[in-house]
Amino acid sequence: MPFTGSSIESRAFKAVRKIQDSVLASYGLPLVAVALAFFARAALNGAAFGPFATYYPAIIISAFVGGLAPGVLALVLSSLAAWYRFLPSEWSLALGKEQIISLSIFAAISAFGIVLVQVLNKAFARVLKREQQLRSLIETALNGVIVVDGKGTISFVNAMAEKLFGYSRSELVGQNIEVLVPDRFVKAHSALRTSYMQSSQTRAMGVGRELYARRKDGSEFPVEVGLNPLHGERRRAILATVVDISERKKLAEQQELLFRELHHRTQNLFAVVQSIANRTFPDDIGQKEQFVNRLQALAGAQTILAGAGWKGARLDQLLRAELDAFTDRAVITGCDIVVNPAAAQSFALIAHELATNASKYGALSVLTGKIVVTGNVELNGAAARFTLAGWNRTAPRSRSPNGRDSARPFW
């Protein structure tokens, strides 16, 4: 499994790579291997071994470690040694028919072994190359990456994880993941980790909750964690990506502070304008009330926009704000869309005027009256059109000649 004890980091692999990088070592290996096979065969001369038994390992090792050319060299040297020393007549290069057949079979089997080793070597090299590329990509990632096995033991961390938590790689690998969790969350985290391993899937950790991690010095910082299961043949592991969101939270808090300040100043401005209106229309109560009510409708829209970070406002929320006094007599459907700030202010004023008319002259002017507001989005290819309609309904309802209930549109 990648990231969990890579073969690239093993001593055996490093030794093999060192031999492959040296021409002298690559071609010296077959000489040493065949010499050892020669003396081993001589020592076993009285045992029930064929003349080539000890040479097969020498050829395979030479081909696996040194490559194709060293493997072929080992085959040639082994054939000559066995031919001269262990084939009848010993200590002679004379060959009979049986010896020729035996030597040919040995050469064919050895050649097949060399080819097979080369195929396996290439496949292994491709796997190692992909692992190296993946490890290199993860090492240079801007997010911290931690791999944890099924028991919660850390098996891999990248450079960014070292930087985030203040630990060196050697200090973290082999430790339990809870070493990075604040003490007050350790018990809950352990239970959640166990549950996740039973039905693991790619997802964000702690959705809807604030997560905190602990550095080596004991300090805590807010994080976002993504979980990705790694499935091996024998065991499962989790790859966790960790992002420090301290700066993001700080910026969000600053933005929220600015929004609150802007909202406060806007409300102060409305209050000043309202005061000016009171002084401008001291005798005309009707005009003053009308102006102040419109101003309050606009202020309400500003409040809703401020709560949404000035990104927009839900139309149904704007409508309900204007119909707040008639919540039990107003039905609003199909208006769960978000409109931009400019449109939100316009809708607030429109809804205020229409609600005022309905309360003075329409259905809301009587206790039994109701209004229905419906919205509808019509799609036409890539374009969309939103239609808003409102209806006055009064009870007892009048009936048309065909027996159906009548209703009057009020916008």
Q: Residues 224-252: pLDDT tens digits?
A: 998 888 876 556 788 899 999 988 888 87
- Give the pLDDT band of residue 348 (cuts 50, 70, 90): confident
**Across residues 119-147, what is the average pLDDT?**
86
What's the mean pLDDT in 354-360?
Answer: 83
- How remote is the C-alpha of 40 from its chain's centroid? 57
How far from chain centre, in Å, is Cα 180? 20
pLDDT at 162 over 60: yes
pLDDT class of 390 with cuts at 50, 70, 90: confident
pLDDT band at 58 (very low <50, low <70, confident <90, very high): very high
pTM to 2 decimals?
0.50
Encoded tokens for 307? 């709560």
Please compute, for residue 204, the number of CA atoms within 13 A of its CA located in the half-sphere on the CB side: 9
Cβ atoms of 30 and 44 within 8 Å: the answer is no
Listed residue (83, 60, 90) closest to 72, CA to CA: 60
Mind spelling out the 3-state secondary structure of 120-158?
Answer: HHHHHHHHHHHHHHHHHHHHCCCCEEEEEECCCEEEEEC
Pick among 3.40.50.300, 3.40.50.720, 3.40.50.970, 3.30.450.20: CATH of 144-244 = 3.30.450.20
CB-CB contact of 160 with 144 (8 Å) = yes
Burial of 400 (0-12, 13-18, 19+ CB in 10 A): exposed
Task: Give me the pLDDT at residue 280, please.
Answer: 67
Q: What is the pLDDT of residue 17?
A: 80
Q: Where are the beta strands (DSSP E) in 251-297?
A: none
**3-state DSSP call for residue 240?**
strand
CA distance 411 to 408: 9
Does residue 90 have a pLDDT over 70? no
Domain residue spans of the chain? 7-139, 144-244, 247-308, 312-411
Rounded Cα distance, 32 and 15, in Å? 16
Distance CA 330, CA 269 (A): 31
